[in-house]
């Protein structure tokens, strides 16, 4: 072995028995094995066997410190340094300097020192090449009177023995991946390498904490490690774990850092293992799979569980961070231990249930609460409410669904931030808002307490004294407004005589209805119509119809509503519901009102009701039949008789052959005073004669312009 030592002159004079080959200033090159002897029974603070005060050591070989202590080593020591003291009851100090290779072996406790630098700051122990803990060694940063820093490993770490202490062994190379191997134990291990750490041979144990600070810890099923009972995994944003580690029994998890995070295989697949979960990163935390927490849950950010479920089995409530008003569980949250007579906190601090006694629970043993922020209920009128979905499901011990028969107080909350992207109230008046449940085809109103707005936390909340049904809840204004139009509203051009009041769907059958120009009359009148909601046109749709509502006959329109016309004459909304719901978001007055109704189609004459119709909640069951002219201004003159049915009843329809392209005729069409076609209407059919496609001049709506279209417009002219 070759080693270079740098000592003071007084030390060199004591080396008289060593033959000198070359010497320049204080440097002596020798081949020697250094054996430092320590008097038996002396502890870590005994007289040093090697005192290098005032000198320097330059090592390119191996220094073996078999016994005793060293003092005043240089800040950096090259080569390989081995601390090998054996007596189990003794201690050997490992100076906190920079090593190239460091080996810790044998039973004496090897304690990291806490020497300070020139700025009086404790230096970390740094290993540039390999940190090796072998045999029966005990490497530690825990000793009375010592306060060392972390141990920084810049390359390979091999641990076949034991590391303990309050400080981390940190794998923190910056330029390349590192290797980790061994079957030893770590009390605290930190991965802080942006290029990641490879577990090249597994079997090691974590008996206190694993911190994933930067980069990926690339373990595998073949080369894995074990988290011992009651250990902690801390994962920072930007760090990750390749596969699920082995768990001896229980584990706790903490998420930290700035930004969003998707959970990974650090979450146990065994639902009994995870005890405490602390979500403390600043962004959103999204579950990548179902997670079960069995003891404590701290929510300091938005936890997204939209595709998975967060299950909480504890009888204590989750804690939501007061410092972050966005702290909530957005998605599915399951409570499996329900406490009677106490608040059962659900997805956020303001959403909860309370059962007064066992009978009120109706055999419910677990509850799944689904909250979707910034999302409208998909049912008709859902977009007229607070932009938040709240769904509740109850299950008994046999996993049977229980959706009624309970009696529970229910609290509900939503985000209320003025002029912010997370504001969910919209322009709705908060004092009037109440809880609603979708039952059948309608929203049922609950007698709710007046909501409170907490401007300090940017939440609004309210509660209901008792609910007896679970299901799909929303927060909205009382009295859902809807009108139901009778299934006998027809278009002359599409009407099929002798077919029991039906119209053909040729435009739809030929795929032409999908070519509808939503920017053209009459759909362009409905500025609130969203074409993106048209995902699939129903097979039974004949064409689009636009409903116009006016408070007075000659007023401007108060609002519009775009709907489908069914083959049997029914009008139904773009959600497929024949109950055409008119909501406050559409523009109707609070509580309803009296409106003239105009029915518009792109190439048939519009009609308007002779008198205002009463659109109020109490009239929801009334059916409006516009196949009969009694309700229509102008009566029979404003419509076209298309058939006399088997009962002798005359069936009327909107007249075909009306175009709005001619500026001179637009006024009559918009004011619903043009009852007869003009030359322009039937001339339009000749302009497109024999053309196939989606055209306004195709009055009989079969996709082909021919003499039938001309005849419809010609027959509706003034005689």
Q: What is the pLDDT of residues 282-313, one digit of tens each?
A: 999 999 999 999 999 999 999 999 999 999 99
Question: Residue 218's beta-bridge partner residues?
Answer: 198
Distance CA 4, CA 618 (A): 101
Whether 81 and 132 share a structural domain: yes
pLDDT tens digits, residue range 306-363?
A: 999 999 999 999 999 999 999 999 999 999 999 999 999 999 999 999 999 999 999 9
Distance CA 203, CA 467 (A): 54
Considering 480, 498, 520, which residue would you say is the last residue of a domain?
A: 480
Whether 443 and 497 share a structural domain: no
Q: What residues have CB less than 8 Å from 224, skipping those under 6 apart?
A: 199, 202, 203, 243, 245, 246
Whether 413 and 447 share a structural domain: yes
Q: For residue 612, what are its two tokens?
A: 């205002």
Whether 438 and 576 share a structural domain: no
Whether 471 and 526 share a structural domain: no
9 pLDDT band, cuts 50/70/90, is very low
Whether 507 and 397 share a structural domain: no
Map 234-300 to HEC letters: EEECCEEECCCCEECCCEEEEEECCCCEECCCCCCCCCCCEEEEEECCCCEEECCCCEEECCEEEEC
Considering 460, 480, 500, which residue would you say is the last residue of a domain?
A: 480
Q: Yes or no: say if 35 and 64 are a contact pair by the CB < 8 Å rule.
A: yes
| Beta-carbon count within 10 A of 577 CB | 16
Across 307-324, b (16+ Cβ under 10 Å) vs e yields: ebbbbbbbeebbebbeeb
Residue 403 lies in a domain: yes
Pick the closest to residue 238 from 199, 281, 274 (CA basis). 281
In degrees and rounded to multiples of 5, residue 217 shows phi and psi of: -90, 105
Distance CA 678, CA 436 (A): 51
Whether 98 and 147 share a structural domain: yes
Whether 441 and 506 share a structural domain: no
CA distances from 378 to 416, 612, 703 (A): 21, 31, 34
pLDDT tens digits, residue range 73-103?
A: 899 999 999 999 999 999 999 999 999 999 9
Whether 558 and 459 share a structural domain: no
What DSSP string describes 107-147?
SSEEEE---B-TTS-BPPEEEEEEEEE-TT-EEES--TT--
Q: Yes or no: say if 57 and 28 are a contact pair by the CB < 8 Å rule.
A: no
Residue 330 lies in a domain: no
Residue 240 lies in a domain: no
pLDDT tens digits, residue range 612-622?
A: 998 877 777 77
| Beta-carbon count within 10 A of 690 CB | 7
pLDDT reading at 34 higher than 50: no
Whether 402 and 385 share a structural domain: yes
Q: For residue 263, what are its two tokens?
A: 């959970």
Residue with structure tokens 């009390």?
187
- Look up the pTM and report it: 0.67
Whether 451 and 521 share a structural domain: no
Whether 435 and 536 share a structural domain: no
Residue 573 lies in a domain: yes
What per-residue confidence (pLDDT) applies to 35? Answer: 36
Residue 659 lies in a domain: yes
Overall number of domains in the chain: 3
Distance CA 626, CA 632 (A): 8
Q: Yes or no: say if 697 and 659 are a contact pair by the CB < 8 Å rule.
A: yes
Residue 687 lies in a domain: yes
Domain holding 66, by residue range, is: 1-167
pLDDT tens digits, residue range 633-684?
A: 999 999 999 999 888 889 999 999 988 877 777 888 899 988 888 888 888 8
- What are the DSSP E strand ranges found in 360-440? 366-373, 388-395, 401-402, 404-415, 434-439
């Amino acid at each position: 072995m070759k080693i270079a030592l740098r000592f003071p002159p007084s030390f060199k004079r004591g080396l008289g028995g060593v033959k000198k080959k070359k010497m320049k200033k204080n440097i002596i090159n020798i081949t020697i094995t250094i054996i430092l002897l320590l008097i038996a029974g002396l502890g870590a603070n005994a007289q040093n066997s090697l005192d290098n005060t005032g000198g320097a050591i330059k090592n390119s070989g191996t220094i073996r410190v078999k016994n005793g202590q060293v003092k005043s080593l240089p800040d950096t020591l090259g080569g390989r340094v081995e601390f090998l003291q054996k007596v189990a009851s003794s201690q050997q100090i490992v100076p906190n300097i920079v090593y190239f290779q460091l080996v810790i072996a044998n039973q004496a406790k090897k304690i990291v020192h806490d020497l300070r630098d020139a700025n009086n700051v404790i230096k970390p122990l740094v290993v540039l090449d390999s940190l090796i803990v072998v045999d029966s060694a005990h490497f530690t940063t825990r000793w009375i009177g010592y306060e060392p820093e972390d141990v920084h490993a810049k390359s390979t770490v091999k641990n076949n023995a034991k590391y303990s202490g309050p400080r981390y062994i940190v794998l923190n190379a910056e330029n390349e991946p590192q290797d980790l191997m061994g079957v030893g134990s770590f009390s605290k291990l930190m991965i802080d390498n942006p290029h990641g750490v490879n577990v090249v041979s597994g079997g090691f144990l974590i008996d206190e904490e694993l911190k994933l600070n930067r980069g990926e810890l690339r373990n595998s099923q073949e080369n894995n490690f074990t988290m011992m009972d009651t250990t902690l995994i801390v994962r920072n944003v930007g760090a990750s774990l390749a596969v699920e580690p082995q768990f001896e029994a229980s584990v706790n998890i903490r998420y930290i850092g700035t930004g969003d995070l998707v959970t990974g295989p650090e979450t146990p697949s065994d639902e009994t293992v995870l005890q405490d979960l602390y979500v403390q990163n600043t962004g959103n935390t999204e579950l990548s799979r179902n997670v079960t927490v069995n003891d404590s849950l701290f929510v300091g950010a938005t936890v997204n569980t939209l595709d998975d479920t967060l299950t909480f089995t504890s009888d204590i409530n989750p804690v939501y961070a007061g410092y972050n008003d966005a702290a909530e569980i957005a998605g599915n949250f399951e409570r499996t231990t329900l406490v009677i007579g106490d608040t059962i906190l659900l997805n956020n601090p303001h959403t909860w249930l309370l059962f007064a006694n066992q009978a009120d629970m109706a055999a419910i043993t677990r509850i799944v609460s689904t909250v979707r922020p910034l999302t409208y209920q998909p049912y008709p009128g859902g977009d007229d409410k607070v932009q938040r979905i709240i769904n509740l499901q109850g299950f008994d011990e046999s996993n049977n669904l229980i959706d009624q028969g309970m009696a529970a107080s229910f609290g509900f909350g939503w985000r209320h931030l003025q002029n912010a992207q997370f504001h969910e109230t919209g322009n709705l008046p908060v004092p009037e808002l109440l809880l609603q449940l979708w039952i059948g085809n309608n929203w049922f109103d609950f007698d709710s307490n007046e909501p409170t707005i907490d401007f300090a936390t940017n939440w609004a909340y309210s509660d209901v004294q008792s609910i007896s049904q679970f299901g799909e809840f929303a927060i909205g204004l009382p009295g859902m407004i809807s009108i139901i139009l009778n299934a006998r509203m027809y278009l002359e051009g599409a009407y099929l005589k002798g077919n029991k009041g039906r119209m053909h769907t040729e435009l739809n059958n030929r795929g032409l209805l999908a070519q509808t120009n939503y920017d053209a009359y009459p759909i362009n009148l409905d500025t609130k119509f969203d074409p993106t909601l048209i995902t699939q046109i129903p097979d039974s749709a004949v064409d689009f119809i636009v409903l116009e509502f006016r408070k007075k006959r000659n007023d401007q329109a108060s609002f519009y509503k775009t709907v489908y016309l069914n083959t049997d004459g029914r009008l139904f909304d773009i959600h497929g519901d024949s109950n055409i719901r008119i909501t406050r978001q559409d523009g109707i007055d609070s509580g309803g009102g009296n409106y003239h109704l105009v029915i518009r189609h792109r190439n048939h004459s519009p009609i308007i009701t002779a008198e205002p119709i009463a659109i109020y909640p109490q009239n929801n069951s009334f059916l409006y039949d516009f196949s009969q002219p009694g309700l229509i201004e102008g009566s029979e003159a404003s419509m076209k008789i298309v058939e006399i049915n088997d009962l002798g009843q005359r069936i009327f329809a909107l007249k075909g052959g009306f175009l709005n392209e001619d500026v001179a005729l637009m006024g009559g069409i918009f004011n619903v005073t043009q009852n007869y076609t003009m030359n322009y209407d039937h001339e339009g059919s000749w302009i497109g004669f024999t053309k196939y496609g989606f055209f306004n001049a195709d009055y009989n709506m079969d996709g082909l312009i021919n003499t039938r279209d001309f005849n419809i417009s010609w027959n509706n002219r003034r005689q």
